[in-house]
Amino acid sequence: MVIAIGFEGSANKLGIGIVKDGEVLSNPRHTYITPPGQGFLPKDTAKHHREHALSVLKAALEEANVKPEEIDVVCYTKGPGMGAPLVSTALVARTVAQLWKKPIVAVNHCIGHIEMGRLITGAKNPTVLYVSGGNTQVIAYSDRYYRIFGETIDIAVGNCLDRFARVLKLSNDPSPGYNIEQLAKKGKQYLEMPYVVKGMDVSFSGLLSYIEEKAPKLIASGAYTPEDLCFSLQETVFAMLIEITERAMAHCDSNEVLIVGGVGCNKRLQEMMGIMAGERGATLYATDERFCIDNGAMIAQAGWEMFKSGVVTPLKETTCTQRFRTDEVKVTWRS
């Protein structure tokens, strides 16, 4: 029996979760929410994490009914992510590991999402679409590594949606992407937009520039409503993602597809992926906002897997890196 605690703070969510042999005991988090029309700056996000670290840690221990001495391993997000928030969270993880005299494991954020998705859904060996505010990748496991089959060549899909939400001055509570999804449900008119798939990769920056420039004029003229534009943007970017995911599934002869990351909560993305999977005779696996959105339990779960396979990070190597690719990590816990 191994109990792992995970610290996640790579972006605007601070999460601390506790996992015991595949069972999530607690998973509280606190989100830094900025005013409408604004993003979140690294220094302000790090300040938020510092201010809430102890209260979230206390909540995680109380909810799990676990004492520090019962924890076997401390896990934290090494990267990828925003520098200042990563460092502020790693500092807390290093401190408790030393205070409690526990081993520490540095976890890749992307692999945290994948392992959490596999645990919650029961997917065995899926092709993974990982979509969030900072990452967009199509991934499949092969020979001890998670291989990246396709990815964005500029900005992440979540960043594209978030930045369009700023143009419309949508609320960041609970998240800009969620509020775009709700508006998109009421959209009736489709605006054709740039559709940029380059082999197995996608590009969203040109599409974003196009819609940022066009939106104010289209809305002012009455030709399109904000709801129409949210609908059109979602349909376009999700179709691009499903195209490259299907190609990866065909290459791998895969009959499972798993969506992870914050954008993976989107019901329309899940619906479109479900249609594609159904046409291929494949199964779609997805999770809800408890596990899609950045959280501590996913870092605890990935760290638990690593620790059980003999991985421990020496204290002097418990650094952070903003760029940490999914395919850099040797997956010692899978055959």
Distance CA 231, CA 164 (A): 12
Q: Outline where DSSP puts E strands in 195-316.
A: 197-198, 201-202, 256-260, 283-286
Distance CA 200, CA 244 (A): 6
Residue 173 assigned ligand-binding role: no
Residue 335 assigned ligand-binding role: no
Distance CA 119, CA 288 (A): 13
* 3-state class (DSSP) for residue 117: helix
* 3-state class (DSSP) for residue 248: helix
Residue 109 assigned ligand-binding role: yes
How many Cβ atoms from other residues are within 10 Å of residue 98's Cβ?
12
Residues 6+ apart with CB under 8 A from 293: 13, 29, 175, 262, 265
In contact, 311 and 125? CB cutoff 8 Å: no
In contact, 215 and 229? CB cutoff 8 Å: yes
Nearest to 256 by CA among 107, 139, 94, 116: 139
Residues 6+ apart with CB under 8 A from 303: 4, 6, 73, 74, 75, 76, 105, 107
Nearest to 136 by CA among 116, 121, 157: 157
Residue 133 assigned ligand-binding role: yes
Distance CA 11, CA 49 (A): 10
Strand partners, 24: 19
Residue 224 assigned ligand-binding role: no
Residue 266 assigned ligand-binding role: yes
Residue 81 assigned ligand-binding role: no
Residue 107 assigned ligand-binding role: no
Residues comprising the binding site for substrate?
A: 130-134, 162, 177, 181, 266
Residues comprising the binding site for a divalent metal cation?
A: 109, 113, 130, 294
Residues comprising the binding site?
A: 109, 113, 130-134, 162, 177, 181, 266, 294
